[in-house]
Structure 1
Amino acid sequence: MTRRIVRTGIQLALLSCIVLFLVFFLDNRYRVLPQSIHSHLPLHHEGLVITDITVQTCSTLNPLTKCKLNQDQWHQVGKDLYLGSGWRKAYVHITRKKEEELTDEDKVIIDVRTGKLDPAMGEKSQASDKWESRPCSIWLKRSAKRHASDSKQVITAVDVLFGADAAEPRLGWELVKPGALQLSGGEFKDPRLSIRRGPPHKTDKPPLRIRKDGKFKIMQVSDLHLSTGVGACRDPEPKDANGGHCEADPRTLDFVERVLDEEKPDFVVLSGDQVNGDTAPDAQSAMFKIAALLAEHKKPYAAIFGNHDDEGALSRGAQMSLYEQLPYSYSEAGSNMIEGVGNYYVEILAHGTKHSALTLYFLDTHSYSPDEAHYNGYDWLKPNQINWFKTTASGLKDAHSHYTHTHLNMAFIHIPLPEYTNKENDRVGQWLEGVTAPKFNSGFRDALVEQDVKAVSCGHDHANDYCSLSKNQGTGDPELWMCYAGGSGFGGYGGYGGYHRRLRVFEIDTNQARISTWKRLEYGDIGKRLDEQIIVDLGKVVPLQQQ
């Protein structure tokens, strides 16, 4: 009896250990790591106001220094201002209090500035408008509660972004001016405070609709490879542009913005590797740059991940948590019962009706092979992802049948499918580098055809920009167009004989059940539509000879 009790106790202890392991150490594709997801997110709890801000500096060489202040009073914003670049560390700390608990003696922050000089010296201010100095050239304007005339102006959240080109896309947030925090010694990437005034702002995401003329334009931007800071150009073309001076991210974003202005898309797809992991120690600052540009132009968008996005400080789950909160973003994490982060779909409704005219599917193609011994290279779409796609698409068919025209389906991924490697397929565009598709074929191409998806488009291989026609192996009938976006970012490789960065545009004409596509270049024939072709017409895949 005693042995049985002991044995049962040991089994229960082992079971507890296994449960703890699953909760805390599983791969982030299942998103069971709430601490890792939120450790880098800003402190912006609703109902709290910020009463003070300071910076605590410490040294990894001196055990007597501490990076955290008294945790009963101060809350640390979890980003090292040096981004781990040396033996120094510095963290922004805040004090906060529930608004209803403020007394008449409490002071709240109503403005923040940065700079060596007292802001009062450069502005017309009353004698009562005094600025308080804090470390790293932070200046605070604080007011007693009874003097805070507009609660919407009170600072309620603080975050840190990095880079001279840092951008803030979140509603109600703003970067503190005029510039970066002042740190001593070491390498750092221009840390900047970002603040939110008032309560959190909700982001409205109204249904997306086909335009009155029956058309809908999608701009696919892939492999931006944005960095923390301006980034360094790789393989710029032409090399002597701007006198040979090239900053990667400004040039990349200028290109994207120019095409936004010229094409005026209704929707933008970010198809992976928005962030260049090894040059983005703060991935949030990198991804915010493209999000801010799209918000400025009021362009709805959806994002999926590539193999480089989560190689920095933020996991896929953490980045998607940010995307989900941003204005104009229709990105979703998807079910946590499915492998990957970002398996979801977006419906585009017909003009003037509640019925879907176009469904866009987005799936996470993961990163590197989990079985290098047998399938070296890159990962593949998993069975439960494919089952989710098939179940979802089948479940939507009844609702789609009520649309008076032909309903169309498209899909977007990052890593190409194995079928992209078939050189016998008819194709339009350039095949300049080896296709780095997964070595294991999990059958997603067949699932796409089965569910009546007419076109799929990917990124990943920067210098490939072709559309390839996949046919039925038995009959030879065209079944699916498989396209590349082409690489758009100067932070990623180019090469391959003077390859110019590019992106892809799809135009859907619901009156004709037609999908057309073309590419736009960063340099050269910048106003020209390159390799324009019709890939779907009257709801059917169009073979190459009919182009």
Structure 2
Amino acid sequence: MTRRIVRTAIQLALLTTIILFSVLFLDTRYRVLPQSLHNHLPLHTPGLVITDITLKTCNTLNPFSTCRLDPDKWHRIEKDLYLSTGWTSSAWLHIKRKREEELTGTDKVVLDVRIGRLDPAVGESGQAAEKWEARPGGLWLKRSGKKKDSDSKAVITAVDVLFGADAVEPRPGWEIRDTPLLLDSAGEGQEARLSVRRGPPQKVERPTPRVGKEGRFKIMQVADLHLSTGIGVCRDPEPKGANGGKCDADTRTLEFVGRLLDDERPDLVVLSGDQVNGETAPDAQSAIFKFAELFIKRSIPYATIFGNHDDEGSLSRAAQMSLTSSLPFSLSEAGPNTIEGVGNYYVEVLAPGNSQHSALTIYLLDTHGYSPDETRFKGYDWLKPKQIDWFKSTAATLKESHKHYTHIHLDMAFIHIPLPEYADGSNHPIIGQHPEGVTAPGFNTHFRDVLVDAGVPVVSCGHDHANDYCALSSKKNSESGNGDLWMCYAGGSGFGGYGGYGGYHRRIRMFEVDINEAKIRTWKRLEWGETDKRLDELVVVDGGRVVAPT
């Protein structure tokens, strides 16, 4: 027994020594890095062309093994192709790049990239018709030594890595390879896919939302998608046992959203947080691209804010907003960097025709994540004083410019975490389902009253997936004297998030604004069951004023 204890102690000491050596002397990829370093996105600098691509694999247990090539020659794409799940292996894609004007007669540029086990040039005769160069991971490169080829639109100018069998590429000029990189069996399960861009980056124009000629503007609020890297695993699917019990979360979620986009044909989509399920999205970029591709291919503008789960994966709020705002049809903005949060901004919807007057203002605010003072205020964070001051100032300034609009100007607001007043027992009526509690902040900054004083008649949130109601909050103590505010939930739409409340079906909320009557109407659509029916349809604003159902 004594010998066994001594032997175990020696083994533990040796293991500790190896770990300490690794932490001190190995490549920094083995250390616990600051969050900012995990938020790196590949840089695609204009004017550069790719001259070579390769893959470097290393053994994470070997203190002398490194996954970084000479940084003076190679740029490493900071995504572990195993998504940090390899027990003993790590793999990283490296590229060589050079400015076009610096290319010499001996330089080669990459014209094409293929992935496979066999030489792409081998035909039926077994003879190679074209020269392809092999690289690790099943990479095959077609390179040219002619400097003039660098001016062609066919030249590869940027490379990225996405993940998952359902990975998509929404960026203009980019194309994703159908075959994943060929790693070992563990790595192949991650479905690491190469995406390349040909030619220079394409300029992305910011869309201008405008009311249609009939005077109507439709908004689809999509809450709590909870998308993963890969197809994901369904939580609490309903009905249970449908499709033989097979349920791929992201596939089913995206099919649901896509169907409603085609049915409802909204003019704008507001994504009100938790688009990315951080815990199951080790590559948040791949998850973001999946929802963005739905709107981009249909030419529908969209605006995003964050929930408490979005930044629990590989990218910070700032990095996600930078990425999302760079995509086609995105109206997303980081907002002022002098106030707390990322995503405090507004969207102006212009009146019909060529008018430059705003008919509708949509305010979007970052409600952050978890309580910064859990001992006193358990649960979730709250809107900060600087955010509220920004909203007051912005609303007052816009109100002056809106005076030139000849109709009644309307306003709406979207947040992720509900305001404390959502839990007020005096709210009446309540239209819709209320099966779970309101998980609002424990600290109340009274933003509800600020919205009313600014003339905003309706606010809508997400966060509590199974709540899908609209509740009328009435107070008569605000500065304006009109203390009515409709507070709505969208209901959860994604199968990657919970939904286990008595047969709850995923749903999406719609808002239709009629500027001719200064009216806002809302309803919901279900993923399963009465999918063609407008559920709990009601008018929340008429003649520019909050109204209750008769």
- 1:472 deviates by 1.4
| Structure 1 position 473, deviation (Å) | 4.2
> 1:438: which partner in 2?
441
Question: What secondary structure is seen at the aligned counterpart in 2 of 1:274?
Answer: coil
Q: Does 1:495 align with 2:500?
A: yes
Farther off after superposition, 258-267 or 284-293: 284-293
How far did 1:206 drift? 3.3
SS at match of 2:495: coil
Deviation at 1:479, TM superposition (A): 1.4
Question: Which structure 1 residue ranges, 5 or more long, are not aligned?
Answer: 1-32
Task: Kindly report which structure 2 residues correspond to 1:174-253, keeping only aligned pairs within 5 A, or say none.
Answer: 174-176=175-177, 178-186=178-186, 188-253=189-254
Instruction: Give the distance between the partners of 2:270 and 2:119, measured in 1 at CA.
Output: 44
Distance (whole Å) between structure 2 residues aligned to residue 311 and residue 535 of structure 1: 35
Mapped to 1, the partners of 2:399 and 2:123 lie a distance apart of 64
Amino acid aligned to 2:70: N
1:145 is displaced (CA, Å) by 3.0
- Residue pairs, 1:62-141, within 5 angstroms: 62-86=62-86, 87-121=88-122, 129-141=130-142
Change (3 A) 1:237 1:124: farther
**CA deviations over 1:331-380 (Å, ceiling 9, x no partner):** 00011111000000010000120000000000000000000110000000
SS of residue matched to 2:153: helix
Distance 1:43 1:122, change over 3 A: farther
1:450 aligns with 2:444: no
- Local SS of the residue matching 1:186: helix
Tell me the matched-pair count: 511
The residue matched to 1:110 in structure 2 has which SS? Answer: strand
Task: Please report how far the alpha carbon of residue 43 of structure 1 lies from its aligned counterpart in structure 2 after TM superposition.
Answer: 2.7
Determine the C-alpha separation between the residues in 2 that align with 1:332 and 1:49: 30
What letter matches 1:223 in structure 2? Answer: D
1:465 alignment partner in structure 2 = 468
2:537 corresponds to 1:532? yes
Q: 2: distance between equivalents of 1:170 and 1:162?
A: 15
Q: Secondary structure at the match of 2:311?
A: coil
Counterparts of 1:265-344 in structure 2, within 5 Å, are 265-344=266-345
Retained in 2: the 8 A contact 1:478–1:543?
Answer: no
Question: For residues 456 and 281 of structure 1, do their structure 2 counterparts lie closer, same or farther at Cα, with a shift above 3 Å needed?
Answer: same
Q: Deviations over 1:161-185 (max 9, x none)?
A: 1000001111111102x31111114
The offset of 1:294, in angstroms, is: 1.1
**TM-aligned CA distance change 1:278 to 1:123, over 3 Å:** farther
Q: Once the 2 structures are TM-superposed, how far is the Cα of residue 423 of structure 1 from its aligned partner? A: 2.7
Aligned 8 A contact 1:37 1:318 in 2: no
Q: Which of the numbers 356, 361, 364 marks the counterpart of 1:354?
A: 356
2: CA distance, partners of 1:381 / 1:361: 14
* Cα offset, 1:35, TM superposition: 5.3
**Structure 1 residues 298, 469: closer, same or farther in 2, change over 3 A?**
same
User: Does structure 1 conserve the Cα–Cα contact (< 8 Å) formed by 2:39 and 2:314?
Assistant: no
What RMSD in Å do the two structures reach over aligned CA positions?
1.9
AA in 2 matched with 1:281: P
What one-letter code is carried by the residue in structure 1 that aligns with 2:77? V
- Structure 2: tracts of 5 or more residues without a match: 1-33
State the SS of the aligned residue for 2:310.
coil
Contact (CA 8 Å) 1:43, 1:159: kept in 2 or not? Answer: no
> Alpha carbons of 1:84 and 1:209: their partners in 2 closer, same or farther (altered >3 Å)?
same
Amino acid at match of 1:272: G
Give the AA of the match of 1:454. P
CA 1:275 to 1:147, structure 2 compared with 1: closer, same or farther past 3 Å?
same
Q: Which deviations, in whole Å up to 9, do the C-alpha atoms of 1:251-281 show, x marking residues without a partner?
A: 0000000000000000000100000111111
Cα shift at 1:88: 1.0
List aligned pairs for 1:372-391, cutoff 5 A. 372-391=374-393
Q: Which residue of 2 aligns with 1:5?
A: none
Match of 2:400, SS state, is: helix
Q: Of the candidates 467, 485, 507, which is equivalent to residue 480 of structure 1?
A: 485
Query: Counterpart of 1:119 in 2: which secondary structure?
Result: coil
- Amino acid across the alignment from 1:291: A
What is the distance in 2 between the residues matched to 1:186 and 1:508?
A: 51
Deviation, 1:144, is 2.2
Helix, strand or coil at the partner of 2:395? helix
Identical aligned residues as a percent: 65
3-state SS in 2 of match to 1:460: coil
Aligned to 2:265: 264
TM-score for the superposition, normalised by structure 2? 0.90
1:152 deviation in Å? Answer: 1.6
- CA apart distance, 1:389: 0.4
1:484 partner amino acid: Y
Q: How far off is 1:127 after superposition?
A: 6.8
Q: Normalised by the size of structure 1, how large is the TM-score?
A: 0.91
* Counterpart amino acid of residue 245 in structure 1: K
2:410 is aligned with 1:405: no
User: What SS does the corresponding residue of 1:43 show, helix, strand or coil?
Assistant: coil
